[in-house]
Structure 1
Amino acid sequence: ALRDAVQAAQDAVDDPEADADQLKAANKAMTKAAQELWEIVTKAELEALIESANGYLDGNYTEESLEALQTAITAAQAAANNDDATTAEVTEAITNLANAIAALESITLDTSALAHEIELVTEMVANIDDYVPSTVEGLADKLADAQAAMNAMTQEEIDAATATLREARLNARTKADVSALEELIAYVNSLELSAYTSASAQPVIQNLARAKAMLANAEVTQEEVNDMVETLRASVDDLVEVSVESTTTTDSDTTNTAAAMQTGMFAGLLAVSAGLILMMRRRRTTK
């Protein structure tokens, strides 16, 4: 239509017989065609911009800037739906909507605390065997969830992920240091317990068995290990040797007792013999 209007206007200009009214009419027709074409072009541009603007509404932007964008979208949609909207109104709607998009304010998410927890727990997972199994169960999965939360859209999600991972980290407990207990067990194993009295050796034997069982328990606490070291060491300190002097004295006492018994028996026999001889002599004298 615009091309035809332009050609008609050009023909009127080239026609030497065309009067002023004809030239005005040709110019008016050309202007109207241009206006109609402009409205078509600008409305298409407006509708495309409206579609683009709607895509920003789900973005991570401040509430205030999103509200301003929604207001601009509503006004632009009204202009696009208005068949009587002027070029100026459509152009204004385009300008306002473009400005609202440009004015969107991104929300700055703080992931520093979460990143710190991820760093700490990553190191823990790499050395997972250093921890009591029951206290780090599922820790690797929680780490993966936290890493995914680094791309969260809201601060609330990031803070929640941080709290969850921190709690898991603080609940983890390193295995007890049993080196001192192992050394003490090795020392006790080297002792010849038969060289000590049974009464003093029995507690050592019992505590040694408990200590060995403790080494096999992955859940044992450091406090329990420390207490076991003290208990076993105390029982070792209380060992009483079976001394050579004590053994010799006992044997000597036994020998002396036997000798005394033999001497007593011999003396008794002598006394009986003497008595018999004396009685025999008295009887002879009497006769």
Structure 2
Amino acid sequence: ALRDAVQAAQDAVDDPEADADQLKAANKAMTKAAQELWEIVTKTELEALIEAANGYLDGNYTEESIAILQDAITNAQAAANNDDATTAEVTDAITDLANAIAGLESITLDTSALAHEIELVTQMIANLDDYVPSTVEGLADKLADAQNVLTDATTQAEIDAATESLREARLNARTKADKSALEALIAEVSAMDLRMYTQTSANALRAALIDAQQTVADEEATQEEVDDAIDTLNVALNALTEENAATQSSQQNDTGINGGMSGMFGLLLISAGAVILPQIKKKHGLRG
């Protein structure tokens, strides 16, 4: 249409018989065709920009800047749908929408706390054998999840939730108890010959030894349980009584009892003599 209008205007200019009205009409037709073409071009550009702008609405931008963009999209869509919109209105819509896109403000995510937790748990994973197995179960998976959030998160809420989850898992982990002292004591007691001790004291030590060995074998044992096992084993160890010492003590007790009884019997005899002898003398008319 524009090409035809331009050609008609050129023909009017070249026609020596064309009057002023014909020239004005040709110029008006050419201007109108150019205007229509411009509107087509600008509306196509506007519609393409609207489509692009809609793609920014789900981005990681501040609420204020997203609100401005949404208003610009609404106004631009109204201009695009208006068949009577002027070139100026379409151009203004394009300009406003482009400015709204350029003015989008990205949200800055604070990942420092999550990064710190990831660093701590990474060190724990490298020394996983130092921890009670049940308390670090699934810790590696939680670490992997947190690392993914650190890379892909688009909101602060995601970052905060991942941080809290990993921190909780880290704090639930418990290091294994130090069993070295208990193991050394077990080795010492196990090497002892208990035949020289009384059966009662030896059996008490054997029972404490079994309990201590079970504590060492228990991966879930706490430090308090290990310390208690050490104390119990030491008490039983210190309570060992040698067989000869026990026999000698028993004999000493028996001797003391027998000696006491003999002395008491002697006293009884003397007392009886003191009572009976005067009576005998009196009976036989004897004097002391």
TM-score, reference length from structure 1: 0.82
Written as runs of structure 1 = structure 2, the 5 A alignment for 1:213-252 is 213-243=214-244
Q: Distance in 2 between matches of 1:64 and 1:93?
A: 19
SS of equivalent residue, structure 1 residue 191: coil
Query: What do the CA deviations read for 1:8-50 (whole angstroms, capped 9, x no partner)?
Result: 2222222233222222111111111110000000000000000
Query: What do the CA deviations read for 1:96-143 (whole angstroms, capped 9, x no partner)?
Result: 011111111111111111111112222222332222122112222222
SS of equivalent residue, structure 2 residue 61: coil
Structure 1 residue runs of 5 or longer lacking an equivalent are 254-287
- Does 2:158 correspond to 1:157? yes
Written as runs of structure 1 = structure 2, the 5 A alignment for 1:78-89 is 78-89=78-89
TM-superposed deviation, 1:211: 0.6
Asked if 1 retains the 8 angstrom alpha-carbon contact of 2:198 and 2:246, the reply is no
- Report the AA paired with residue 239 of structure 1: L
Q: Distance in 2 between matches of 1:104 and 1:14?
A: 54
Query: What do the CA deviations read for 1:60-96 (whole angstroms, capped 9, x no partner)?
Result: 1111111111111000000000000000000000000
SS of equivalent residue, structure 1 residue 107: coil
- Does 2:159 correspond to 1:125? no
SS of equivalent residue, structure 2 residue 189: helix
Please name the residue that 1:144 is paired with: 144
Aligned-residue identity in percent: 74
Residues 245, 76 of structure 1: CA spacing in aligned structure 2 closer, same or farther, 3 A cutoff?
closer
SS of equivalent residue, structure 2 residue 154: coil
TM-superposed deviation, 1:159: 0.7
Structure 2 residue runs of 5 or longer lacking an equivalent are 255-288
Please say which of residues 116-125 and 33-42 is displaced more in the overlay: 116-125
Please name the residue that 2:27 is paired with: 27
Please name the residue that 2:179 is paired with: 178
TM-score, reference length from structure 2: 0.82
Q: Distance in 1 between matches of 2:245 and 2:122?
A: 62
Please name the residue that 2:212 is paired with: 211
SS of equivalent residue, structure 2 residue 158: helix
Query: What do the CA deviations read for 1:237-283 (whole angstroms, capped 9, x no partner)?
Result: 23233458977x97xx9xxxxxxxxxxxxxxxxxxxxxxxxxxxxxx
Q: Distance in 1 between matches of 2:2 and 2:82?
A: 22
Q: Distance in 1 between matches of 2:208 and 2:200?
A: 14
SS of equivalent residue, structure 1 residue 177: coil
TM-superposed deviation, 1:202: 2.3
- Report the AA paired with residue 106 of structure 1: S
SS of equivalent residue, structure 1 residue 142: helix
Query: What do the CA deviations read for 1:201-226 (whole angstroms, capped 9, x no partner)?
Result: 22211100101111111111011001
Q: Which runs of 4+ in 1 moved over 4 A?
A: 243-247
Q: Distance in 2 between matches of 1:211 and 1:144?
A: 39
Q: Distance in 2 between matches of 1:244 and 1:165?
A: 62
Please say which of residues 67-76 and 201-210 is displaced more in the overlay: 201-210
Written as runs of structure 1 = structure 2, the 5 A alignment for 1:65-76 is 65-76=65-76
- Does 2:189 correspond to 1:201? no
Please name the residue that 1:63 is paired with: 63
Please name the residue that 1:274 is paired with: none
Q: Distance in 2 between matches of 1:20 and 1:142?
A: 85
Q: Distance in 1 between matches of 2:49 and 2:157?
A: 32
Please say which of residues 80-89 and 222-231 is displaced more in the overlay: 222-231
RMSD of aligned Cα (Å): 2.0
